[in-house]
Amino acid sequence: MSRLEEQINIDVPAQEVWAQLHRIDEYPKFVEGVKSAAAHGSSRAHLDIRIGDGEQAFETRLADRGGQKVMDWTVDKPELKCAFAVNPLDEEHTQLQVRLEYDAEAVRTAFGGPKGFAQVHAIEEAVRTDLEKFKDLLESRK
């Protein structure tokens, strides 16, 4: 299992970052490849994803650790686990931390793309780009 940890500072209050993470239907605005997303209650979401020429649908499980401001996402195939932690820096600034655990070969099998280290690098770049888009989306609403 590969593990990726990234973080970004966002110039909005923590409660705005937390609220945006829960707007599942807006994930296509900042997550590359997500064509549509919809929540099913408070613990499930459906994602339609396009990577390259392929399209797939995924059901995910969500879990909030609201008191800790942590949201967990889990996908069974390919096996992906993601946690978003919202950490207030002060009243107007927040750090968002992302931890992603995945099997690079399973991701390549599901979505295509390069092998080995190149696949890991592609995933790292995608996560960084998505975090920047998330930041831009929130800061543009100020």
Q: Give pLDDT tens digits for 89-137.
A: 999 999 999 999 988 777 777 766 666 666 677 788 989 999 999 999 9
Helical (H) or strand (E) element with 5: strand 2-10
Is residue 85 scored above 70 in pLDDT? yes
Closest-CA residue to 84 (of 106, 60, 104, 114): 60
Give residue 50's domain range: 2-140
CATH classification at residue 26: 3.30.530.20
Tokens linked to 36: 């549509």
- Asked if the model's pLDDT at residue 18 lies above 90, the reply is yes
DSSP string, 39-71: EETTTEEEEEEEETTEEEEEEEEEEEEGGGTEE
Tell me what pLDDT residue 118 has. 67
- Closest residue by Cα to residue 31 from 123, 109, 108: 123
Give the chain's domain count: 1
* pTM for the predicted model, two decimal places: 0.89
25-51 pLDDT, tens digit per residue, is 999 999 998 999 999 988 999 999 887
CA 99 – CA 83 distance, rounded (Å):
5
